[in-house]
Structure 1
Amino acid sequence: MAGAGWAPPHLEDFILTERLGSGTYATVFKAYRKKNAREVVAIKCVSKKTLNKASVENLLTEIEILKTIRHPHIVELKDFQWDKEHIFLIMEFCAGGDLSRFIHARRILPEKVARIFLQQLACALKFLHDKNISHLDLKPQNILLSSLYKPHLKLADFGFAQHMSPWDEKHVLRGSPLYMAPEMVCSRQYDARVDLWSVGVILYEALFGRPPFASKSFAELEDKIRSNQPIELPSRPRLSSECRDLLQRLLKRDPQERISFKEFFSHPFVDMEHMPSAESLDKATSLVTEAVKKDQDGDFSAALSLYSKALEYFVPALRYEVDARRKEAIRAKVSQYISRAEQLKVMVTSNNKTLLQQGRPARDILKEMSKNKPRLYAALEVADAAVAKEEEGGDDGETLDLYQQSLGELLLMLAAEPTGRRRELLHAEIQTLMGRAEYLKEQIKMKESQWEAEDKEGLSDSVRTSCTLQ
């Protein structure tokens, strides 16, 4: 509640209650609308006495931007009013508090939960980016959660936001040092890519429990910001290769080396295509219809691939659906498709093993022809190890790593190989191994989708589990 002896400002039509937080020039209160079934809102109160020219500009920018924006992952500005002493921004109320509090209460977030929040943040940023709007103050404190049960992320606080073209350069220091891109501090010249750095810092903090430049003093913080040392990712907790890749590309000190917005939105870890949405179920249904047709036609390999792809949309469709009966109906269908996919997997794997064994003599001939090329021979040995591991039913992730390691070398060898029989054999071998690697990738994705589809509460389960850590 607001401090003892300290009354919140008076605003007609609203009852202002507890203080939710305060910033440089504003205090935010929880409030109830006296009419309209006592709607709950958040009211940002700005004292006119505290306003200098810069803060007036910030406030006008915030009002201008929020008035024109309606997006499920951006806090809605419902209205704004003023009196002699204050300006009031009447905002959507987010009962889950901010992301900073959410992370600190749980110490770290599981990668699965962090990814869902990242997808929602990326969705908001894509919407802003398409309108040439940069936030410029992205940090966990400015990211609110709709509730603590099945939270939806809502981007807030547009006081520093700017309409920026890609070629704009600004010279004003904005934002919070822990989350600021190095170019904002070091050169005071920057563009929209500073938001991507901040996204990297937020993701890093969610996964590791502290931002990369966490410091005991401002001097130490400034040294870390100005350093040329690349950002190193802790080895624990263990992250997926896609997650590590995205973090490393977001946290490039040089904005020219940093991932672009286009690359960020299409990155496999962000995977906006498969985030829960109203279209998820339609996409899943369309793929399943194709899968059933291929299955009936006897094209089992294609059917398995389509069932696997459909599952990647069914899981977000389950997360998006709020009606309990519809959710249960979807889940029952998904169980049937998973069961059929498992049967097909056995049939297709059996056929592929036969093909792999038939391909072995060609690989043996190629190895005989490559004894004078140690590097090529070694890459073929790794390919042999991958095939052997797959036939034994070993760990799919490790097997895929071996295939990819082998293919990386073999493709380099192919580029340098002169025309002739060995090149023909090498080309054919690479195609076989690529097919196996792609098949394995689909199997890994299908297993992940199956596990997620069977996880009845999705994100809320993860959130509830992490709550027990408090």
Structure 2
Amino acid sequence: MAGPAWGPPRLDGFILTERLGSGTYATVYKAYAKKDTREVVAIKCVAKKSLNKASVENLLTEIEILKGIRHPHIVHLKDFQWDSDNIYLIMEFCAGGDLSRFIHTRRILPEKVARVFMQQLASALQFLHERNISHLDLKPQNILLSSLEKPHLKLADFGFAQHMSPWDEKHVLRGSPLYMAPEMVCQRQYDARVDLWSVGVILYEALFGQPPFASRSFSELEEKIRSNRVIEDFFAHPWVDLEHMPSRESLARATALVVQAVKKDQDGEAVAALSLYCQALDFFVPALHYEVDAQRKEAIKAKVRQYVSRAEELKAIVSSSNQALLKQGTSARDLLREMARDKPRLLAALEVASAATAKEEEAGGEQDALDLYQHGLGELLVLLAAEPPGRRRELLHTEVQNLMARAEYLKEQVKMRESHWAAETLDKEGLSESVRSSCTLQ
């Protein structure tokens, strides 16, 4: 039976204590199971008298969806009960509060923290969308944190969630206006992808401390968010990087790449072997993060140190070969420059190539060098197409081939250097300096 209006209701098997939050239809309480375990849970109490037909349907859909799914970043519905006054949803308790409070108490979040949170949220959304489930009310208040010490996101409050395929059209306005996609606010016709717009707004708020379209009225908000731009492919975006999210598959992927690296190493293909070792390390890092057994974790660390050591040896081999190729390419370019004195456009393109080579030899200049190589190649390819047969065309053809090879080589270096998440995680494991240096070619 429900208790008095000024206190929490009573529910068999549980002791309800402090109020965690409340909305139009529900109040959430912290509670303890009366059983020996004294398990802590959150209980969402929905007053029956406050429900109309639409809210009853929403509640039933919420229960149906949450009872049928389990995911590490979606709040777990343990059970539901009811009495004459209330319906009770017994949920996993998240001690860290909600993401809104987490952001506002810190004003803004560091990018590396926001990225981890986005990765976890993307994982939950991808799981839902694969099952044709749309949340439709994504906002920081509906994203809970498992704890404050080691926070993990838990997507919650599925009161507006719907089974919705990407091609479905809906005309009901759902969710919170600040986080609604333009097609929902302006056209009332939308599909499952509106969740991705909300994710973008949440990310903006995490990084800048407030939503991008804060407004004083709905009409002002509608005006601000009108846009015809297409939402990018969120789940495949390299910043989200779901591929390298810690999971039970991380170790298997790392091991498969190591097998390939060893084969290339044995065949004398140093560059390919080094690249594969570094790709494997990108998966060993999340594997270490995912592993909880101390003995297995130490075994993985030992393997990582072994592969880092071999990567250092290969790096020395590749660097030596790289320097020889740079000198060879510079000599050929000097000869071509002598033969191009009557071609100012060709001379200018060769100067760009020389600037790229000089930039490549600077520490940390890989991205600038790559940009210069690509700019120079754009010019030289046009000139090569117009160059008549002869010695100069042969040299120009060789120069284009060399620059293409350098550009591909640098793309691989930049890719390795951009593994920030891997390096940051390895910092915690005490291995980052050796891995970072091994996967950065000079």
Matched, 1:432 2:402: no
Deviations 1:266-308 (A, max 9, x none): 1111111110001111221232233344334433222211111
Matched, 1:402 2:376: no
**2:286 alignment partner in structure 1:** 316
Matched, 1:29 2:40: no
- The 5-angstrom pairing of residues 197-208 of structure 1 reads 197-208=197-208
SS where residue 455 of structure 1 aligns? Answer: helix
Distance, in Å, in 1 between the alignment partners of 2:349 and 2:132 is 47
Is the alpha carbon distance of 1:228 and 1:99 closer, same or farther for their aligned partners in structure 2, counting shifts above 3 Å?
closer
Distance, in Å, in 2 between the alignment partners of 1:448 and 1:390 is 24
Q: Specify the code of the residue in structure 2 equivalent to 1:388.
A: A
Structure 1: tracts of 5 or more residues without a match:
230-252, 459-470
Deviations 1:434-453 (A, max 9, x none): 22322322441468734531
CA apart distance, 1:417: 5.7
Q: Specify the code of the residue in structure 2 equivalent to 1:279.
A: E
Contact 2:352 2:376 in 1 (8 A): no
CA apart distance, 1:86: 0.6
Percent identity, please. Answer: 65
CA apart distance, 1:378: 4.7
Matched, 1:298 2:268: yes
SS where residue 385 of structure 2 aligns? Answer: coil
**2:127 alignment partner in structure 1:** 127
SS where residue 90 of structure 2 aligns? Answer: strand
Q: Specify the code of the residue in structure 1 equivalent to 2:94.
A: C
**2:438 alignment partner in structure 1:** none
**2:428 alignment partner in structure 1:** 455
Contact 1:314 1:453 in 2 (8 A): no
Contact 1:382 1:403 in 2 (8 A): no
**1:105 alignment partner in structure 2:** 105
Is the alpha carbon distance of 1:340 and 1:291 closer, same or farther for their aligned partners in structure 2, counting shifts above 3 Å?
same
SS where residue 429 of structure 2 aligns? Answer: coil
Distance, in Å, in 2 between the alignment partners of 1:448 and 1:110 is 13
Q: Specify the code of the residue in structure 2 equivalent to 1:123.
A: S
Distance, in Å, in 2 between the alignment partners of 1:377 and 1:167 is 54
Q: Specify the code of the residue in structure 2 equivalent to 1:205.
A: E
Deviations 1:163-203 (A, max 9, x none): 11222222221111221112222222222121111111111
Contact 2:73 2:121 in 1 (8 A): yes
Distance, in Å, in 2 between the alignment partners of 1:169 and 1:332 is 53
Distance, in Å, in 2 between the alignment partners of 1:310 and 1:198 is 34
Is the alpha carbon distance of 1:303 and 1:22 closer, same or farther for their aligned partners in structure 2, counting shifts above 3 Å?
same
Q: Specify the code of the residue in structure 2 equivalent to 1:431.
A: M
Distance, in Å, in 2 between the alignment partners of 1:203 and 1:81 is 36
**1:237 alignment partner in structure 2:** none
- The 5-angstrom pairing of residues 90-169 of structure 1 reads 90-169=90-169
Matched, 1:210 2:210: yes
Q: Specify the code of the residue in structure 2 equivalent to 1:18.
A: E
**1:266 alignment partner in structure 2:** 236
Q: Specify the code of the residue in structure 1 equivalent to 2:252.
A: D
Distance, in Å, in 2 between the alignment partners of 1:331 and 1:147 is 27
With 87-96 and 333-342 compared, the bigger mean Cα shift is at 333-342
- The 5-angstrom pairing of residues 18-417 of structure 1 reads 18-35=18-35, 37-215=37-215, 218-219=216-217, 222-227=219-224, 253-254=227-228, 257-259=230-232, 263-364=233-334, 369=340, 372=343, 374=345, 378-391=348-361, 393-396=362-365, 399-408=366-375, 410-411=377-378, 414=381
Q: Specify the code of the residue in structure 2 equivalent to 1:271.
A: D
- Greater RCO (Cα-Cα under 8 Å, separation 6 or more): 1
Distance, in Å, in 1 between the alignment partners of 2:225 and 2:379 is 32
CA apart distance, 1:25: 1.0
Q: Specify the code of the residue in structure 1 equivalent to 2:355.
A: A
CA apart distance, 1:126: 1.0
Distance, in Å, in 2 between the alignment partners of 1:366 and 1:57 is 76
Is the alpha carbon distance of 1:119 and 1:48 closer, same or farther for their aligned partners in structure 2, counting shifts above 3 Å?
same
Report the TM-score, using the length of structure 2 for normalisation. Answer: 0.86
Deviations 1:294-341 (A, max 9, x none): 334433222211111111001111111122333333234323332332
SS where residue 91 of structure 2 aligns? Answer: strand
Report the TM-score, using the length of structure 1 for normalisation. Answer: 0.82
Structure 2: tracts of 5 or more residues without a match:
388-392, 432-442
Is the alpha carbon distance of 1:322 and 1:228 closer, same or farther for their aligned partners in structure 2, counting shifts above 3 Å?
closer
SS where residue 42 of structure 1 aligns? Answer: strand
Deviations 1:125-158 (A, max 9, x none): 1111111111111111111122223222111111
Distance, in Å, in 1 between the alignment partners of 2:27 and 2:420 is 48
Contact 1:19 1:28 in 2 (8 A): yes
Distance, in Å, in 2 between the alignment partners of 1:32 and 1:302 is 56
Distance, in Å, in 2 between the alignment partners of 1:415 and 1:127 is 47
Contact 2:286 2:422 in 1 (8 A): no
Q: Which has the larger radius of gyration?
A: 2
Distance, in Å, in 1 between the alignment partners of 2:255 and 2:79 is 41
Distance, in Å, in 2 between the alignment partners of 1:436 and 1:331 is 29
Is the alpha carbon distance of 1:82 and 1:443 closer, same or farther for their aligned partners in structure 2, counting shifts above 3 Å?
closer
SS where residue 174 of structure 2 aligns? Answer: coil
| Number of equivalent positions | 421
Q: Specify the code of the residue in structure 1 equivalent to 2:240.
A: V
